[in-house]
Amino acid sequence: MDYDKLTVVMRRLALEAGDKIMEIYDGPEFEVMTKSDDSPVTAADEAADAHISAGLRAAFPDMALVTEEQADSHDVTAMTFLIVDPLDGTKEFIDRRGDFTVNIALVEDGVPTRGVVYAPARGRLFYTGADGVSVEEGGALDKESVGTTQPIRVSEPDNDALMVVASKSHRDQATDDYIGKYAVRDMTSAGSSLKFCLVATGEADLYPRIGRTMEWDTAAGHAVLAGAGGEVVRFDDHTPLRYGKDGFANPFFIAYAPGVELQKA
């Protein structure tokens, strides 16, 4: 894999897809449709998916590609593939809360190794470089030239005063019960894969997810967190979260900065 090319292509496609999403987000009322699994989808999801898919297939024609909006047609047996959620956090988008992202990732041998997470309404762009180290890019976010990048790194957590991030749209009693096992200094909520990025930048120490997710929801954020020194493990046995699973469904998981003393379920 040409990681330099991959980084350039994923970054550019994420920014371009973000523009398409924001045209609809900032426009008049848009139609909200329902997919076969009862989850919502909009024209923004579909436009971003079409753009990213076309760009990735043109750049990497021999690489398997999985996207949320085309999931019903996927039968990927390869352990190395590209995976896309063109608009993660559709509910946040519909409610115009801003915490939605464009997610593009590379999975190699079941592990997300490169990824980009772009939050167009927040103007925040996170990605792994060709060397696998994660950065946040600031400035104007020009599509053709990279601006100022800052390497990001997870926190050195204080287990007597942890900062926890939880889902904005999927918070429940089971999550609160698990968080209650820790000594928590403060909590914040965020939508979409931004939660991984908050752990990656050290803005949070711990993100437990006790709820349904799919691999395209998590792969890019997982890659960004790993490139910042973080880890993602299964909730049940604390083994590494793997990708390429049948049906692309994830088990519950915990994303965290090493040094957090993980509690059992």
pLDDT tens per residue, range 155-207: 999 999 999 999 866 678 999 999 999 999 999 989 889 999 999 999 999 99
What is the span of the domain harbouring residue 110? Answer: 3-151
**Is the same domain home to 186 and 129?**
no
141 is in an annotated binding site: no
Over the stretch 52-67, which tens digit does the pLDDT of each residue have? 999 999 999 999 999 9
**Is the same domain home to 21 and 127?**
yes
**Is the same domain home to 90 and 12?**
yes
**Is the same domain home to 49 and 135?**
yes
In a domain, 238, yes or no: yes
What was the pLDDT predicted at 38? Answer: 62
Q: What is the CATH number of the domain that holds 195?
A: 3.40.190.80
In a domain, 261, yes or no: no
90 is in an annotated binding site: yes
Q: 48: which 2 tokens?
A: 């971003």
Mean pLDDT for 18-41 is: 82
**Is the same domain home to 135 and 183?**
no
What was the pLDDT predicted at 79? Answer: 80
Residue of 202, 209, 210, 221 lying closest to 259 (CA atoms): 202
Which domain-ending residue is among 83, 117, 151?
Answer: 151
137 is in an annotated binding site: no
What was the pLDDT predicted at 91? Answer: 86
Which domain-ending residue is among 151, 176, 208?
Answer: 151
State how many domains the chain has. Answer: 2
What was the pLDDT predicted at 74? Answer: 59
103 compared with 168, residue with greater pLDDT: 103
What was the pLDDT predicted at 218? Answer: 98
**Is the same domain home to 134 and 115?**
yes
Q: What is the CATH number of the domain that holds 62?
A: 3.30.540.10
Q: 227: which 2 tokens?
A: 């490139």
**Is the same domain home to 30 and 138?**
yes
What was the pLDDT predicted at 71? Answer: 64
Q: 23: which 2 tokens?
A: 């045209």
Average pLDDT, the chain: 93
Answer whether 0.75 is exceeded by the pTM.
yes
In a domain, 263, yes or no: no
What was the pLDDT predicted at 90? Answer: 86
**Is the same domain home to 33 and 70?**
yes
71 compared with 207, residue with greater pLDDT: 207
6 is in an annotated binding site: no
**Is the same domain home to 147 and 22?**
yes
- Whether the pLDDT of residue 12 is over 90: the answer is yes
89 is in an annotated binding site: yes
In a domain, 156, yes or no: no
- Whether the pLDDT of residue 113 is over 70: the answer is yes
In a domain, 54, yes or no: yes
What was the pLDDT predicted at 169? Answer: 67
Distance CA 59, CA 21 (A): 22
Which pLDDT band, with edges at 50, 70 and 90, does 32 fall under?
Answer: confident
Mean pLDDT for 7-21 is: 97
Which domain-ending residue is among 124, 151, 178?
Answer: 151
**Is the same domain home to 178 and 79?**
no
33 compared with 245, residue with greater pLDDT: 245
**Is the same domain home to 80 and 117?**
yes
